[in-house]
Amino acid sequence: MVSQGELRNASLSSELDLRGMNSLDAISALESYLDNAIMSRLNVVTVIHGKGSGTLRKEVNAFLKQCGHVKRFRLGKFGEGEHGVTVVELSHSGGSD
């Protein structure tokens, strides 16, 4: 489980690392992180789910599709060109543009 201190630190960064988390903990951490990112006025954040984490990536993407603060998102590159991140553009209007 992610501690509140880790969430505060994550809100100052543009990355959230979900590797090694189960889906429920990852979605809970992502929800809190996105709330903090919006309050911190971040426009783009990177969610790291790691290579070979298809189930976690699907859960993250399903959550992002429903989140009102997400303008759009796309799969990004991680490390040696391996897909393992999702790049998220945030909307500060509270809904999708």
Which residues constitute the domain of residue 47? 4-90
Average pLDDT over residues 27-45: 91
Which neighbouring-strand residues pair with 89? 44, 72
The count of other CB atoms within 10 Å of the CB of residue 50 is 18
**Residue 67: CATH number of its domain:** 3.30.1370.110
Provide the pLDDT for residue 85. Answer: 85
pLDDT bracket for residue 84 (50, 70, 90)? confident
Indicate whether 97 belongs to any domain.
no
- Residue 76 parent element (H or E): strand 70-78
- Give 82's contacts (C-beta < 8 A, 6+ positions apart): 51
What is the spatial distance between Cα 51 and Cα 53, in angstroms, rounded to a whole number? 6
Comparing 59 with 93, which gets the higher pLDDT?
59
- The pLDDT of residue 96: 43
pTM of the model: 0.76
User: What are 2-30's pLDDT values in tens digits?
Assistant: 555 555 554 457 889 998 899 899 999 99
Residue 46 in domain: yes
What pLDDT sits at residue 97?
A: 42
Q: How many domains does the chain have?
A: 1
Q: What is the pLDDT of residues 69-80, one digit of tens each?
A: 899 998 877 665
More confident position, 65 or 85? 65
